A and B are shown apart, each in its own frame.
Chain A
């Protein structure tokens, strides 16, 4: 048996077919991606003897090139090139292919999956020593999000804190108060149901509603204990969140509009038949441009809480990372640090909306909050900006999703879909996911302990 056993880089074999297929089919596309960079075999992070360090940055941010141009103009030490990817999925495919082929691997990759996945797959390099001197530029949540098992494998990245938007016209019409706790949220749902209004929407394909609630309640689905994972999808906070969700489903207080049918979703949100929804700062432009009747009726408010004494907002992120093979992580950190400066933030101003994105990674994003409020959407823009900043200050940056997130998330989608349709309970769904995770980890040979 030992003869047939070879040691390989994680994911090496499993991606070999895809990589070869890409060589045959997509070679042109890849060549195009890396075009113009006379790079080494391992990475694009070259350091000519007499000139700036070159790094290649891959991402699907349409403003990326404009930001990189400003960065190049602002300093002389690093020359960055931005390679625009079509989207998250294209980024994942192209990165995997480049990494497997060992050529033209970027020096900075926008996070297309949870950080632990990047580490398990052997893609992200440990940049702890390089990033530690810069930590003062980032907030605590950003620090947490960038670590796996106490080491920095990602660049400090801000998580988008959730808050609630409520349709004041609907609430006023039926005399319903804005809920401060999740129990009050359910109660508001009961009152609204009498008028054929749903309190919120749970898309049947998207279990992140449950994940957010669980995270907010303090759940810990995955934790590292020594040399093993501790897995528990059924801890007390998760079951507390599940209880809220179950009540909303059982009493038919929520709608189940899908994200796939966007026009229908927006039309429904705009109709006044759905009273409120948790959201995050980047959703606002999409909502504002697709709403008509309800524009000006929405009010931003703090997300309902489980514990009013310790308010928190859920929020996760997929940090950008420095791939294994890049020889100049310090140049990447320099770029990341520059993006926290007023100049770096300004470089991301969108020429179409004339707004900069909310720099959620910096210690105080408050000065930029007013910039992200789309005109005519809220009843009170200043109040909305305050709520968003407050949500950012309370965001839980870290929610460990374990070493096999890609495997279990589709299973959670299946189980969530059945629970939302009333075919099983949320508790049963969670138990099924727990079992699935254990089976998958077992097959993969990853050590774990069932704490459920």
Chain B
């Protein structure tokens, strides 16, 4: 006891020495104390993540488990439908129906095509703006940073309403503007609807992406730029060959978030449904179909099965992208 006591008080040895190694059994008590101390430290550290873990469990894990549970049941009425419903276990029937649902997959394909355009465009524009801001003086950059972030603070529904009025062929200014240029642009037409939605989504998203990329750019060591300049590199060359590779990890992150967000697009087409109802049907995007099944048709079981399929697709798309970008990097 007395032999080990000083050891535990020596700085450096407590954490460096693996616990339990070459420890005589008769001296079990002090190591236990040491273990306890380390465990306490670990727990303290882990406790910092508790709010996240609790929130994640409550708002992600529990709903997912509930969704999985709902997806294996179905409920049926009988007669005129006025009596009680009967809930029946159907196993994977709902999931199988979801996987084979042509309407759902055409919605998915539609959004996939849209994502192929809008995700890269969002990243390119955001990166371009971040690079311009990075090149500008700090005081000017700060002002623009806030201005560019403002659209991100506007809720999607509100932003869509604002843009619907801007696009309005009758009262909106954009149609008149293009009219001055001799162009007859109808933002509400079926052919233009993805462009109209993409534009407003871009408007809302670039601020957030730009901020992350701008933050990453700030952490690039400045001596590299100086070295490049001494070697005669232009600012464009510095941006392309030094800055962009340095923010690659952040670009992967913003692209992932963009993929996830785009595949779940809901509010914008939901509101645009009124202006081009012949194009935007109730099942236009996967989330619109899920919403319709849950809250209009009233089939929460099938809606959750569709949600599970969508989650898998989003997960796979994200994983593929991540894998692809990682492999290229290596």
- The verdict on B134 contacting chain A, using a C-beta distance below 8 Å, is no
Cβ–Cβ < 8 Å partners of A260 in chain B: 164, 271, 274-275
Question: Residues 286-322 of chain A: 1 if any B CB is under 8 Å from the residue's CB, otherwise 0?
Answer: 0000000000000000000000000000000000000
Contact between A258 and B274, CB atoms less than 8 A apart = yes
- List of A residues within 8 angstroms of B164 by Cβ: 260-261
Interface residue A440 (Cβ < 8 Å from any Cβ of B): yes
Question: Chain B contacts of A11 at CB under 8 A?
Answer: 85, 298
Docked Cα-Cα span, A23 to B134, in Å, equals 46
- Given the known A-B contacts A5-B88, A17-B66, are A447 and B78 also in contact in the complex, defined by CB atoms under 8 Å? yes
Q: How far is the CA of A258 from the CA of B278 in the complex (A)?
A: 12
Chain B residues closer than 8 Å to A8, beta-carbon distance: 75, 84-87
Residues of the A chain whose Cβ atoms lie less than 8 Å from the Cβ of B84: 7-10, 122
Answer whether residue B52 sits at the interface, using C-beta atoms and an 8 A cutoff.
no
Q: A14-B75, A421-B278 known; A267 and B170 CB under 8 Å?
A: yes
CB of A263 within 8 A of CB of B170, answer: yes
Given A263-B170, A407-B296, A446-B78, A13 and B278 contact (CB-CB distance below 8 Å): no
A174 contacts B by Cβ under 8 Å: no
Closest to A267 in B: B170
Q: How far, in whole Å, are A174 and B319 apart by their CA atoms in the complex? A: 66
Interface set, chain A 386-444, CB cutoff 8 A to B: 403-404, 406-407, 409-411, 413-414, 416-418, 420-421, 423, 440-441, 443-444
Given contacts A14-B75, A447-B79, contact A259 B300 (CB under 8 A): no
Residues in chain B near residue A6, CB distance under 8 A: 86-87
Name which residue of chain A comes closest to B91, CB basis: A4
CB distance from B301 to the nearest CB of A (A): 7
Residue A445 lies at the interface, judged by CB distance under 8 Å to chain B: yes
Q: Out of A263, A409, A443, A444, name the residue touching B171 (CB < 8 Å).
A: A263
Contact of A263 among B73, B83, B168, B277 (CB under 8 A): B168
Find out whether the CB atom of B277 lies under 8 angstroms from the CB atom of A413.
Answer: yes
Total interface residues on B, using CB and 8 Å? 51
Q: How far is the CA of A10 from the CA of B85 in the complex (A)?
A: 5
In the assembled complex, which residues on chain A have CB atoms less than 8 Å from the CB atom of B176?
none
Kindly identify which residue among A261, A414, A420, A443 contacts B281, using a CB–CB cutoff of 8 Å.
A414
B82 CB–A CB distance under 8 Å: yes
Q: Are B299 and A13 in contact (CB under 8 A)?
A: no
Write out the residue numbers on chain A whose beta carbons fall within 8 Å of the beta carbon of B190.
421
| B77 at interface, CB cutoff 8 A | yes
Among A13, A267, A414, A444, the residue within 8 A (CB) of B81 is A444
Distance between Cα atoms of A4 and B87 in the complex (Å): 8
Query: Which range contains the number of A residues in contact with the other chain?
Result: 35 or more
Q: Is B80 an interface residue (CB 8 A)?
A: yes
B36: shortest Cβ distance to chain A, in Å?
Answer: 36
CA distance A372 to B275 in the complex (A): 31
Partner of A17, one of B58, B82, B300: B300
In the bound complex, do residue B82 and residue A120 qualify as a contact, i.e. CB atoms below 8 Å apart?
yes
A205 at the binding interface (Cβ < 8 Å):
yes
A149: Cβ under 8 A from any B Cβ: yes
Complex interface: chain B residues within 8 A of A406 (CB):
295-298
**Which residues on the B side are within 8 Å of A410 (C-beta)?**
282, 292, 296
Bound state CA distance, A4 and B93, in angstroms? 15
B273 at the interface (CB under 8 A from A): yes
Name the CB-closest residue of A to B277: A417
Q: Is the Cβ of B298 less than 8 Å from the Cβ of A409?
A: no
Q: How far is the CA of A149 from the CA of B88 in the complex (A)?
A: 28
- The residues of B that contact A15 with a CB separation of less than 8 Å are 300
| Structural contact, A4 and B89, CB atoms closer than 8 A | yes
- Report, nearest first, the 6 A-B pairs whose CB atoms are least far apart: A417-B277, A264-B170, A4-B89, A445-B76, A421-B278, A260-B274
- Apart from A24-B58, A258-B275, A446-B81, what are 18 other A-B pairs with CB-CB below 8 Å? A1-B88, A4-B88, A7-B86, A7-B87, A14-B300, A18-B300, A21-B63, A120-B81, A267-B170, A403-B82, A417-B276, A421-B277, A440-B297, A444-B81, A445-B76, A446-B78, A446-B80, A447-B80
Please give the residue numbers on chain A whose beta carbons come within 8 Å of chain B beta carbons, in ascending order: 1, 4-18, 20-21, 24, 119-120, 122, 148-149, 203-205, 224, 227-229, 257-261, 263-264, 267-268, 403-404, 406-407, 409-411, 413-414, 416-418, 420-421, 423, 440-441, 443-447
